[in-house]
Amino acid sequence: MARLKEVPSKFELSELADSSGLAISVIDRSGIETTALNNNSICRSLNPDGELLGKCNAFCGKALDNSLNAGREVGFTCHAGLDCRALAMSDNGKPVAVVVGRTFTKSENYRRAASLAASGEWSSMPVSAMFGNVLLTGSSVALEKIVEKLERLGREVEVEMSPIPKPEIEIERFEPETIEFAEVIEEFIEPIAVLPKDETSDWRSLYSSILSKDYRTACEMLLDYAADHYGLDSVAILAVRKEKFINVTARGQMASSGIRIGISPTDERIVAAISDGDALVLSERRSKNGDGRTLTILPVAVASDATAAIATLDHFENDERRRQLLRLVNTVAGRLEILRLRAELDGRDSIERSVKKFDSDIRNTSGDDLWQQLAANSAELLQAERASLLLMDELSGKFKVAASVGMTADGMHENDPGRRVAHTIFEKGRTALVPDAIKAGLLDNVDERGYRTRSFLSTPIMLDDRKIGVLSFTDKATSTAFNAKDLEMVEAIAPQIAVAIDREELRAKAGEFEQLSVTDALTGLLNRRYIEQRLDEEVKRSNRHGYPMSFLLLDVDHFKSYNDNFGHPAGDVALKLVANVIKDTLRGADVAARFGGEEFAILLPQTVDEEAAAIAERVRRNIEATEFPHREVTVSIGVASCSSELCSTNGLVDAADKALYDAKHRGRNGVRMFAEMEIERFE
């Protein structure tokens, strides 16, 4: 028998969840959620039926046993990065765990979740469902206080207990911070309490409806509120993108004069302003007549990191009104960040689908058809009526037009194509998005080439450090300027184009011997010499730019016995079939090679650890499902990915080999990640 507190009524639990804005879940001993209030949408998506499986079971599913073993509340941050507290209680005489929180308290955990949804193990799940109700708090205080309330509300009862298993994860005790719960609540209601009555209802309306809007609309609503209630005529809402403030929506001079915010969101002055709960005021360099404007930046923060800002050239009535607006907008910081993340992930999802289709369309195209297909497909993605693909002739130092869409014959055959813009893009090696070519001084008159619009977008095509050519787009079908989404799209397809061109150059290299020297004669895959060279290039690129990349080693299980029983010719047939399955399973940018004997290697550029493991599992599963002439054939696969601790050519090969050996040791026909082995080594 054990003495536990009885779980409060569902009404009391619901009040606690509503007042705190956090999740409360009741989980029985079998790992089933019997109650889930204000649940984090990530948890709902991972466990749609309320049955805690896989990684979730290792945390919330074991919360009851861990709390009983500890004899008190336990705290943990789960695999999804959510901060939780768990307390063993009684539900009608049966022991259950009451888990509270399921909230992000650290911005780095939130960003990791975004990465998992964008390109990791959650990428197959709908973004709108997964991030529909994400919970964020800047402090763990509220979690501790809910646990205290649970203990106060519950009456103590005796519960018959079965033996308690030893804990599977380390229990961490979270000491409450020295701050009263009332102060936490006050942080949210105080800004509203001091508002004039005519402003309170407007703010409550904005606050309650903001999550039902898209990110831009929510920013416009916030901008309207700040302008209307605080007398701001020249004001902008800024978002954080790639460690820069970018303009989302603006009024007055902030919209018309193109003011650029040069300060970084991580600048120590912004960090200090967030810590002080105040704004940052910047002064413009004074002109000769002594005039100079001031720019006030009100940083909007989640977990002490700037996620947005309000910027204005106007002056506030007084310091208190400025601080009041800052406190108000920070109460919706988490909601704004959820909307921004949703928009970003939706955009990434759209780009990812487009890139996959693009890759599928060009995968089996070669020769002269490839160039035209590359130009036409990329123009279609960007809704550009005109596009050109220029390739650099290394002997002459001039471009040749490999393909074009919508260009005149004169443009195709001019003596030095690309001399005005493409040469600059090629030399600098950077993508250029130009809203107005005349204002930028790149064209005197758009009519000289028959352009309908002034905007263009050009990107260099590069393979590692080698510059291949330039792809340019003009005349957007909507008659608008190219925008940031177009820029993301072209940067996403540029590596695919480079790989396609690299393959075509490999096919077209003079002399069949050159081609054969990098190809395995039996399987038709590339050979070890080639993939080691490419791996070295990808490692350098990853170290230089921070791009993800992964490397796989694959070995056919029990291949010696296959040769011994059925003969070497049969073994050769089996290896060819394995190679064909690998080729059919991989994406266009992936590189497969025969590494030696029955061992194969796969290079996955721009691929994170979790995605690499998923690709490896598809390869393993497809080989297992393939019909071989004599018996079933399976493979074991080791996965290694670039990280801050591991990103060298020899290191990755060695790590993948160790993971492969471990997969063999575990019974073969499996996938093993080196990163998981490292985690287990320290547990």
Q: What is the mean pLDDT of the chain?
A: 82
Q: How far is CA 189 from CA 20, 50, 139, 155, 206, in A?
A: 12, 33, 16, 31, 15
Task: Show Cβ contacts of residue 14 under 8 Å, excluding neighbours closer than 6 positions.
Answer: 37
Contact indicator for 393, 372 with CB cutoff of 8 Å: no
Contact indicator for 135, 23 with CB cutoff of 8 Å: yes
What number is the average pLDDT over the span 589-608?
A: 92
The Cα–Cα gap between 324 and 272 comes to 18
**Higher per-residue pLDDT: 18 or 656:** 656
Three-state DSSP class for 105?
A: coil
**Higher per-residue pLDDT: 314 or 454:** 314
Q: What is the pLDDT of residue 257?
A: 59
pLDDT band at 537 (very low <50, low <70, confident <90, very high): confident
Is the confidence at residue 520, as pLDDT, over 80?
yes
What are the pLDDT digits (tens) for 619-645? 999 999 999 999 999 999 999 999 878
Q: What is the pLDDT of residue 291?
A: 59
Is the confidence at residue 230, as pLDDT, over 60?
yes
Beta strands 526-527 and 591-596 are parallel
Three-state DSSP class for 261?
A: coil
- Range name among 28-37, 311-320, 351-360 with the lowest pLDDT average: 351-360
pLDDT band at 168 (very low <50, low <70, confident <90, very high): low
The Cα–Cα gap between 600 and 614 comes to 17
**Higher per-residue pLDDT: 134 or 605:** 605
Is the confidence at residue 91, as pLDDT, over 60?
yes
Is the confidence at residue 251, as pLDDT, over 70?
yes
**Higher per-residue pLDDT: 435 or 287:** 435
Q: Tokens for 461?
A: 């095509």
The Cα–Cα gap between 377 and 286 comes to 50
Contact indicator for 452, 475 with CB cutoff of 8 Å: yes
CA torsion, ordered 4, 6, 12, 17, to nearest 10 deg:
40
658 by Cβ neighbours in 10 Å (0-12 / 13-18 / 19+) ranks as: middle
Q: What is the pLDDT of residue 118?
A: 65
Residue written as tokens 């749609």?
48
Q: Can you give the C-alpha Rg of the chain in angstroms? A: 30
Is the confidence at residue 348, as pLDDT, over 70?
no
Q: What is the pLDDT of residue 165?
A: 61
Structure letter (DSSP) for residue 257 = S
Contact indicator for 586, 611 with CB cutoff of 8 Å: no
3-state helix, strand, coil in the chain (%, to 5): 45, 25, 30
Is the confidence at residue 484, as pLDDT, over 90?
no
Residue 616, amino acid: A
pTM given for the model: 0.50
327 by Cβ neighbours in 10 Å (0-12 / 13-18 / 19+) ranks as: middle
Q: Within 13 Å and on the Cβ side, how many CA atoms surround 37?
A: 19
**Higher per-residue pLDDT: 212 or 46:** 46
The Cα–Cα gap between 612 and 592 comes to 13
Residue (of 95, 119, 249, 142) closest to 614 by Cα position? 119
Q: Tokens for 144?
A: 């501790």
Is the confidence at residue 538, as pLDDT, over 90?
no
Q: What is the pLDDT of residue 409?
A: 42
Q: Which of 15-29, 350-364, 433-447, 669-683 has the highest mean pLDDT?
A: 15-29
Angle between helix 181-193 and 319-331 (nearest 10): 120
pLDDT band at 166 (very low <50, low <70, confident <90, very high): low
Task: Show Cβ contacts of residue 277 under 8 Å, excluding neighbours closer than 6 positions.
Answer: 323, 326, 327
- Range name among 166-175, 308-317, 618-627 with the lowest pLDDT average: 166-175
pLDDT band at 119 (very low <50, low <70, confident <90, very high): low
Contact indicator for 348, 116 with CB cutoff of 8 Å: no
- Range name among 15-24, 62-71, 223-232, 259-268 with the lowest pLDDT average: 259-268
pLDDT band at 557 (very low <50, low <70, confident <90, very high): very high
Residue written as tokens 């943990």?
76
Task: Show Cβ contacts of residue 399 under 8 Å, excluding neighbours closer than 6 positions.
Answer: 390, 391, 392, 393, 416, 417, 418, 422, 423, 426, 469, 470
- Range name among 177-191, 196-210, 242-256, 438-452 with the lowest pLDDT average: 177-191
* Total residue count of the chain as it appears in this document: 683
- Range name among 334-338, 405-409, 501-505, 548-552 with the lowest pLDDT average: 405-409
E strand or H helix at 116: helix 107-119
Residue (of 40, 8, 48, 45) closest to 22 by Cα position? 40
**Higher per-residue pLDDT: 145 or 190:** 145
Is the confidence at residue 443, as pLDDT, over 70?
no
